[in-house]
Protein backbone atom coordinates (compact mmCIF):
# COMPACT_ATOMS: atom_id res chain seq x y z
CA UNK A 1 0.00 0.00 0.00
CA UNK A 2 1.40 3.40 -1.02
CA UNK A 3 1.78 5.86 1.86
CA UNK A 4 0.69 9.36 0.87
CA UNK A 5 3.03 12.19 1.86
CA UNK A 6 1.96 14.77 4.41
CA UNK A 7 1.22 17.99 2.52
CA UNK A 8 0.83 21.60 3.61
CA UNK A 9 -0.06 24.11 0.88
CA UNK A 10 0.60 27.72 1.90
CA UNK A 11 -0.95 30.67 0.10
CA UNK A 12 -3.06 33.74 0.75
CA UNK A 13 -6.78 33.40 1.41
CA UNK A 14 -7.85 33.73 -2.21
CA UNK A 15 -7.78 31.61 -5.38
CA UNK A 16 -5.16 32.86 -7.85
CA UNK A 17 -2.03 30.73 -8.23
CA UNK A 18 -2.79 28.12 -5.56
CA UNK A 19 -6.32 27.17 -6.61
CA UNK A 20 -5.46 24.66 -9.37
CA UNK A 21 -3.24 22.73 -6.94
CA UNK A 22 -5.91 22.85 -4.23
CA UNK A 23 -8.46 21.49 -6.69
CA UNK A 24 -6.16 18.79 -8.06
CA UNK A 25 -5.53 17.47 -4.55
CA UNK A 26 -9.21 17.73 -3.68
CA UNK A 27 -10.41 15.94 -6.82
CA UNK A 28 -7.80 13.22 -6.32
CA UNK A 29 -8.80 12.70 -2.69
CA UNK A 30 -5.29 13.59 -1.49
CA UNK A 31 -5.36 15.00 2.07
CA UNK A 32 -3.57 18.31 2.56
CA UNK A 33 -3.45 21.21 4.97
CA UNK A 34 -4.89 24.27 3.25
CA UNK A 35 -2.75 26.89 4.97
CA UNK A 36 -4.28 30.32 4.34
CA UNK A 37 -1.64 32.91 5.16
CA UNK A 38 -2.70 36.23 6.69
CA UNK A 39 -1.14 39.32 5.13
CA UNK A 40 0.29 40.26 8.53
CA UNK A 41 2.15 36.93 8.73
CA UNK A 42 3.60 37.06 5.23
CA UNK A 43 6.72 39.23 5.82
CA UNK A 44 8.11 36.75 8.35
CA UNK A 45 7.06 33.66 6.38
CA UNK A 46 8.53 35.12 3.17
CA UNK A 47 12.05 34.83 4.60
CA UNK A 48 11.55 31.07 5.00
CA UNK A 49 10.34 30.30 1.47
CA UNK A 50 12.65 29.15 -1.36
CA UNK A 51 12.16 32.22 -3.57
CA UNK A 52 10.34 34.70 -1.33
CA UNK A 53 7.00 33.92 -2.88
CA UNK A 54 3.97 31.65 -2.63
CA UNK A 55 2.39 29.20 -3.14
CA UNK A 56 4.71 26.83 -1.34
CA UNK A 57 4.09 23.16 -0.67
CA UNK A 58 5.72 21.60 2.38
CA UNK A 59 6.11 17.83 1.97
CA UNK A 60 6.41 15.62 5.05
CA UNK A 61 7.08 18.64 7.22
CA UNK A 62 10.55 19.15 5.79
CA UNK A 63 10.87 19.67 2.04
CA UNK A 64 9.56 22.92 0.56
CA UNK A 65 8.59 23.09 -3.11
CA UNK A 66 7.82 26.41 -4.82
CA UNK A 67 6.55 27.55 -8.24
CA UNK A 68 2.86 27.03 -8.95
CA UNK A 69 3.23 24.95 -12.13
CA UNK A 70 5.69 22.61 -10.45
CA UNK A 71 3.29 22.18 -7.54
CA UNK A 72 0.44 21.50 -9.96
CA UNK A 73 2.38 18.76 -11.78
CA UNK A 74 3.35 17.16 -8.47
CA UNK A 75 -0.19 17.34 -7.09
CA UNK A 76 -1.60 16.15 -10.41
CA UNK A 77 0.75 13.16 -10.43
CA UNK A 78 -0.29 12.19 -6.88
CA UNK A 79 -3.95 12.61 -7.83
CA UNK A 80 -3.78 10.71 -11.12
CA UNK A 81 -4.46 13.92 -13.05
CA UNK A 82 -1.07 14.37 -14.72
CA UNK A 83 0.22 11.84 -17.30
CA UNK A 84 3.79 11.71 -16.05
CA UNK A 85 4.36 8.29 -17.66
CA UNK A 86 3.37 9.55 -21.12
CA UNK A 87 5.76 12.33 -22.19
CA UNK A 88 3.77 13.39 -25.25
CA UNK A 89 0.47 13.59 -23.42
CA UNK A 90 2.23 15.42 -20.58
CA UNK A 91 3.54 17.97 -23.10
CA UNK A 92 0.02 18.45 -24.50
CA UNK A 93 -1.25 19.03 -20.97
CA UNK A 94 1.61 21.43 -20.21
CA UNK A 95 0.99 23.54 -23.29
CA UNK A 96 -2.54 24.27 -22.11
CA UNK A 97 -1.41 24.99 -18.55
CA UNK A 98 1.25 27.40 -19.81
CA UNK A 99 -1.08 29.06 -22.31
CA UNK A 100 -3.57 29.76 -19.54
CA UNK A 101 -0.71 31.14 -17.44
CA UNK A 102 0.10 33.49 -20.34
CA UNK A 103 -3.50 34.67 -20.25
CA UNK A 104 -3.33 35.33 -16.52
CA UNK A 105 -0.03 37.18 -16.90
CA UNK A 106 -1.47 39.31 -19.70
CA UNK A 107 -4.09 40.55 -17.27
CA UNK A 108 -1.88 40.71 -14.17
CA UNK A 109 0.54 43.02 -16.00
CA UNK A 110 -2.10 45.74 -15.90
CA UNK A 111 -1.92 45.90 -12.11
CA UNK A 112 1.40 47.68 -12.41
CA UNK A 113 -0.29 50.61 -14.17
CA UNK A 114 -1.05 53.32 -11.63
CA UNK A 115 -2.94 55.64 -13.98
CA UNK A 116 -6.56 54.47 -14.03
CA UNK A 117 -7.29 55.68 -17.54
CA UNK A 118 -4.23 53.91 -18.94
CA UNK A 119 -5.16 50.78 -17.02
CA UNK A 120 -8.68 50.93 -18.44
CA UNK A 121 -7.27 51.38 -21.95
CA UNK A 122 -4.89 48.43 -21.51
CA UNK A 123 -7.73 46.21 -20.31
CA UNK A 124 -9.87 47.31 -23.24
CA UNK A 125 -7.18 45.94 -25.58
CA UNK A 126 -7.11 42.72 -23.56
CA UNK A 127 -10.90 42.39 -23.67
CA UNK A 128 -11.27 43.20 -27.36
CA UNK A 129 -8.11 41.74 -28.86
CA UNK A 130 -5.79 39.70 -26.64
CA UNK A 131 -8.21 37.46 -24.75
CA UNK A 132 -10.47 36.72 -27.75
CA UNK A 133 -7.43 35.61 -29.79
CA UNK A 134 -5.98 33.56 -26.95
CA UNK A 135 -9.32 31.94 -26.15
CA UNK A 136 -9.81 31.08 -29.83
CA UNK A 137 -6.37 29.41 -29.90
CA UNK A 138 -7.17 27.51 -26.72
CA UNK A 139 -10.51 26.38 -28.10
CA UNK A 140 -8.86 25.06 -31.29
CA UNK A 141 -6.17 23.18 -29.37
CA UNK A 142 -8.77 21.54 -27.15
CA UNK A 143 -10.81 20.53 -30.21
CA UNK A 144 -7.71 18.94 -31.75
CA UNK A 145 -6.65 16.83 -28.77
CA UNK A 146 -9.88 16.16 -26.91
CA UNK A 147 -11.66 12.81 -27.04
CA UNK A 148 -14.84 14.06 -25.40
CA UNK A 149 -15.31 16.28 -22.37
CA UNK A 150 -11.68 16.96 -21.51
CA UNK A 151 -8.82 19.00 -22.98
CA UNK A 152 -6.40 16.15 -23.67
CA UNK A 153 -7.64 12.63 -24.32
CA UNK A 154 -10.62 11.09 -22.56
CA UNK A 155 -9.90 11.75 -18.88
CA UNK A 156 -9.57 14.81 -16.67
CA UNK A 157 -6.11 16.30 -16.24
CA UNK A 158 -4.66 19.38 -14.61
CA UNK A 159 -5.11 21.13 -17.97
CA UNK A 160 -8.86 20.99 -17.43
CA UNK A 161 -8.47 22.36 -13.92
CA UNK A 162 -6.56 25.44 -15.08
CA UNK A 163 -9.09 26.07 -17.84
CA UNK A 164 -11.81 25.84 -15.20
CA UNK A 165 -10.07 28.22 -12.79
CA UNK A 166 -9.43 30.78 -15.53
CA UNK A 167 -13.01 30.76 -16.83
CA UNK A 168 -14.31 30.81 -13.26
CA UNK A 169 -12.21 33.89 -12.52
CA UNK A 170 -13.37 35.46 -15.76
CA UNK A 171 -17.01 34.87 -14.83
CA UNK A 172 -16.56 36.15 -11.28
CA UNK A 173 -16.93 39.82 -12.29
CA UNK A 174 -13.84 40.67 -10.23
CA UNK A 175 -11.76 41.79 -13.20
CA UNK A 176 -12.63 45.40 -13.91
CA UNK A 177 -13.21 46.25 -17.59
CA UNK A 178 -13.08 42.57 -18.64
CA UNK A 179 -16.49 41.18 -19.74
CA UNK A 180 -17.56 38.07 -17.87
CA UNK A 181 -18.92 36.50 -21.08
CA UNK A 182 -15.69 36.40 -23.10
CA UNK A 183 -15.40 32.60 -22.96
CA UNK A 184 -19.05 31.88 -23.72
CA UNK A 185 -18.68 31.63 -27.50
CA UNK A 186 -15.78 29.18 -27.24
CA UNK A 187 -17.66 25.91 -26.99
CA UNK A 188 -14.73 23.58 -26.33
CA UNK A 189 -13.41 25.81 -23.54
CA UNK A 190 -16.88 26.03 -22.05
CA UNK A 191 -17.35 22.25 -22.27
CA UNK A 192 -14.19 21.72 -20.22
CA UNK A 193 -15.27 24.36 -17.73
CA UNK A 194 -18.66 22.74 -17.26
CA UNK A 195 -17.11 19.29 -16.96
CA UNK A 196 -14.91 20.36 -14.06
CA UNK A 197 -17.61 22.54 -12.50
CA UNK A 198 -19.98 19.58 -12.30
CA UNK A 199 -17.49 17.23 -10.64
CA UNK A 200 -18.97 16.37 -7.20
CA UNK A 201 -15.78 17.24 -5.32
CA UNK A 202 -15.51 20.59 -7.11
CA UNK A 203 -19.16 21.36 -6.34
CA UNK A 204 -18.47 20.56 -2.67
CA UNK A 205 -15.26 22.63 -2.66
CA UNK A 206 -16.90 25.68 -4.22
CA UNK A 207 -19.83 25.52 -1.80
CA UNK A 208 -17.42 25.45 1.13
CA UNK A 209 -15.14 28.25 -0.12
CA UNK A 210 -17.47 30.61 -1.99
CA UNK A 211 -17.26 34.17 -0.63
Whether CATH 3.40.50.300 fits 7-79: no
Contact (CB, 8 A) for 93 and 124: no
Same fold, 7-79 and 87-209: no
Q: Is the peptide bond before 55 cis (omega within 30 degrees of 0)?
A: yes
Local confidence pLDDT in tens for the 211 residues of the chain: 467 899 999 999 988 899 999 999 999 999 999 999 999 999 999 999 999 999 999 999 999 999 999 999 999 999 999 999 999 999 999 999 999 999 999 999 998 888 899 999 999 999 999 999 999 999 999 999 999 999 999 999 999 999 999 999 999 988 889 999 999 999 999 999 999 999 999 999 999 987 6
Contact (CB, 8 A) for 132 and 69: no
Alpha helices by DSSP H, listed for the chain, are: 19-27, 42-46, 68-79, 87-108, 116-125, 131-145, 158-171, 187-197, 200-209
User: Rounded to whole angstroms, what are the CA distances from 154 to 82, 159, 192?
Assistant: 13, 12, 11
How many residues belong to the chain? 211
Hey, what CATH topology would domain 87-209 get? Answer: Glutathione S-transferase Yfyf (Class Pi); Chain A, domain 2 (1.20.1050)
- Predicted TM-score (pTM) of this structure: 0.94
Give the DSSP per-residue string, 50-67. Answer: SSS-S-EEEETTTEEEE-
What ranges do the domains of the chain cover?
Answer: 7-79, 87-209
Contact (CB, 8 A) for 54 and 83: no
Amino acid sequence: MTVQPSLKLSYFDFRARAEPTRLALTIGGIPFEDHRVARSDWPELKKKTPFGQMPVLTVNGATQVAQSNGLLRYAGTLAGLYPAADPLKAALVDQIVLHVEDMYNTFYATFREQDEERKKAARKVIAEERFPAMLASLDAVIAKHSAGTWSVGDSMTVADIVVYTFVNDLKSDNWDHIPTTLADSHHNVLRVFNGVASHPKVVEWEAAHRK
